[in-house]
């Protein structure tokens, strides 16, 4: 205890750190306020370490602070779009930007950064519809008559409700009144879209007859919302999309299927069950909504496929213009859709490639990585079995068997922070004094930079335990 308070008392002041010679070199590359900010952060982190029981005597504290400041100066902390190696194992990690794009999509996006024929038909020389080819390919892929693309699936939900059913009732099961995340709650979306919520059934059980009884002159639509971020089990039932589509209803009442995850691939060989977009279209949903950057593995956007008459109605809505996508999204989406259409998704789309990666291959990569770290003195490093969650509002509770590298010992929090704060940044998983790097979501090209980062971090990482 005495040691701790003495260590805290001995923490250097900002001015003292400023005078260290290593710092003056950094000083030349940044502004004074920037440097002061880094020093303050470094001192705060050091204080935290001491409070957590790290025995940092004054010399060690100064060295650790200088090291921390150097790291921060190399790493542009203000930038929010740096390359991050995702060693968390979570395939669709919302904080890491969900799906990584396919090379072909990145190349297409790059081309579109300059002038591009986003609304120009190069054959006729006339104006064309924005994203026309992407929507044609999406219709082909899903089997729907037509499609539109907006900036995300939440925007798609909003647009559909507003354009199709404003001022009227939309029937939804009480078991599906979800919060998607980021505070996007379905009942609030209904209100904002000017639609009246007609809840039916109960939290756990909703029957077809509940929908049938709720049908009235004021009904504008029926919506089904896929449970993509939580599970319900036990005494639970609700009609399937096939059954909902069969509900007797006037021509003006469409069935909307908000799938969210956008699955096009049969995942049963992975032991996963997820409703697919073609299934929803095929059984007769009038409009099907999904995200571009979940299981579809493309750029962030909201895709709506369905019957032409409803899609036309969406196109005429003033909201459409407010939620339209930019040329870069269209470029990446078009390329991603081409890959799906060509049947190459498991080879070319990183998300699917990672999902279908065998646990054995991941284990081999872990063993190879471990071997590259074997000569470094320091904490214990070993290969362990683990689970990679799919994550990101797609298949709740589902995970795939995987392997990772486990680094154990006290101070792994510090190691995790160091790994995060240098280029390329590495995001790992820490639990109970163990740092785990799950390699399922780490691409082959990232293995060498990851090994290099680990070598340099472990070499300076001393395990105080
Ligand atoms: C994820 C999800 C959304 C929101 O999609 P974003 O593209 O993140 O806006 C909407 N509905 C469902 C069912 C979802 O799973």
Q: Could you tell me the two tokens for 136?
A: 């044609």
Helix, strand and coil percent figures for the chain, each rounded to 5: 45, 15, 40
pLDDT per residue over 409-420, tens digit each?
878 988 998 899
CA of 281 to the centre of ligand 1 (A): 18
What is d(CA 126, CA 118) in angstroms, rounded to the nearest whole number? Answer: 12
Ligand 1 binding pocket includes 176 (Cβ within 6 Å)? no
Q: Quick one: which atom of ligand 1 is closest to the CA of 178?
A: 13
| Distance in Å, CA 152 to ligand 1 centroid | 7
H or E, element range at 445: helix 444-460
Residues 6+ away with beta carbon under 8 Å from 409: 379, 380, 433, 463, 465
Task: Verify whether ligand 1 is closer than 6 Å to residue 7 (CB atom).
Answer: no
Distance CA 219, CA 200 (A): 13
What's the rounded Cα separation, in Å, for the pair 139 and 304? 10
Q: Is 180 in the pocket of ligand 1 (CB under 6 A)?
A: yes
Residues comprising the chain, all counted? 465
Distance 304 CA to ligand 1 centre (A): 12
Quote the pLDDT of residue 289: 98
Phi, psi of 40 (to 5 degrees): -60, -45
Q: Give the CB-side neighbour count of residue 7, counting CA atoms within 13 A.
A: 22
pLDDT of 463 > 60? The answer is: no
On whether the CB atoms of residues 198 and 214 are closer than 8 A, the answer is yes
CA-proximal residue: ligand 1, atom 13 (nearest): 260
The single residue listed with the structure tokens 């049908």 is: 215
pLDDT at 315 over 80: yes
Residue with tokens 């504008």, as numbered in its chain: 220
CA of 7 to the centre of ligand 1 (A): 49
The CA-based angle 412-417-420, given to 5 degrees, is 125
Torsion, CA 22, CA 416, CA 298, CA 77, rounded to 10: -30
- Candidates 418, 426, 424; CA nearest to 462 is 418
What rounded mean pLDDT belongs to the chain?
92
The pair of structure tokens assigned to 409 is 């010992």
Q: Kindly state the average pLDDT of the residues 322-337.
A: 97
Min mean pLDDT across 69-78, 197-206, 261-270 is at 69-78
Residue-level pLDDT at 465: 41
**Whole-number pLDDT of residue 432:** 85
Query: What is the arithmetic mean of pLDDT over 122-135?
Result: 95
**Which of 11-25, 71-85, 337-351, 373-387 has the lowest average pLDDT?**
71-85
Q: Closest Cα to atom 14, ligand 1: which residue?
A: 260
Neighbours of 216 (CB within 10 A): 10
Residue 1 pLDDT exceeds 60: no
| Protein residue with its CA nearest to atom 10 in ligand 1 | 260
* 407: β partners: 381, 435
Count H helices and E strands in the chain, helices first.
20, 13
Res. 143: pLDDT tops 90:
yes
Cβ proximity of 382 and 284 under 8 Å:
no
Separation of alpha carbons 181 and 435, rounded Å: 27
């Amino acid at each position: 205890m005495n040691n701790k308070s003495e260590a805290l008392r001995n923490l250097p002041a900002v001015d003292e750190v400023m005078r260290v010679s290593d710092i003056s070199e950094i000083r030349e590359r940044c502004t004074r306020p920037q440097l002061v900010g880094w020093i303050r952060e470094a001192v705060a982190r050091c204080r935290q370490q001491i409070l957590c029981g790290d025995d940092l005597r004054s010399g060690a504290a100064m060295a650790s602070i200088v090291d921390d400041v150097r790291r921060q100066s190399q790493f542009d902390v203000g930038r929010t779009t740096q390359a991050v190696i995702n060693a968390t194992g979570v395939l669709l990690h919302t904080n890491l930007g969900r799906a990584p794009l396919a090379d072909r999509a990145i190349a297409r996006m790059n081309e579109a950064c300059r002038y591009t024929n986003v609304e120009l038909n190069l054959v006729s020389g006339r104006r064309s519809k924005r994203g026309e080819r992407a929507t044609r390919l999406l219709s082909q892929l899903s089997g729907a008559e037509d499609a539109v693309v907006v900036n995300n699936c939440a925007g798609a939900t909003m647009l559909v409700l507003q354009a199709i059913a404003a001022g009227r009732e939309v029937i939804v099961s009480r078991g599906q009144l979800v919060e998607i995340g980021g505070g996007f709650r379905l009942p609030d979306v209904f209100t904002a879209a000017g639609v009246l919520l007609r809840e039916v059934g109960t939290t756990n059980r909703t029957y077809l007859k509940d929908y049938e009884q709720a049908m009235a002159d004021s009904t504008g639509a029926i919506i089904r919302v896929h449970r993509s971020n939580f599970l319900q089990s036990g005494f639970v039932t609700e009609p399937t999309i096939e059954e909902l589509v069969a509900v007797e209803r006037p021509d003006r009442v469409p069935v909307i299927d908000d799938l969210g995850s956008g699955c096009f691939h049969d995942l049963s060989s992975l032991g996963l069950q997820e409703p697919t977009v073609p299934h929803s279209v095929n059984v007769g949903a009038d409009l099907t909504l999904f995200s571009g950057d979940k299981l579809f593995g493309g750029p962030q956007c909201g895709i709506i496929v369905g019957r032409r008459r409803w899609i036309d109605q969406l196109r005429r809505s003033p909201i459409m213009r407010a939620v339209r996508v930019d040329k870069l999204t269209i470029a990446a989406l078009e390329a991603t859709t081409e890959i799906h259409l060509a049947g190459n998704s498991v080879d070319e789309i990183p998300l699917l490639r990672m999902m279908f990666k065998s646990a054995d291959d991941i284990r081999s990569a872990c063993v190879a990585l471990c071997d590259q770290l074997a000569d470094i003195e320091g904490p214990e490093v070993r290969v362990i079995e683990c689970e990679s969650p799919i994550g990101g509002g797609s298949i709740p509770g589902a995970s795939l068997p995987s392997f990772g590298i486990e680094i154990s010992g006290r101070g792994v929090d510090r190691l995790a922070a160091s790994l995060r704060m240098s280029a390329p940044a590495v995001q790992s998983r820490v639990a109970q004094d163990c740092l785990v790097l799950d390699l399922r979501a780490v691409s082959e090209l990232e293995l060498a930079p990851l090994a290099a980062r680990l070598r340099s971090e472990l070499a300076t990482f001393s395990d105080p335990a």
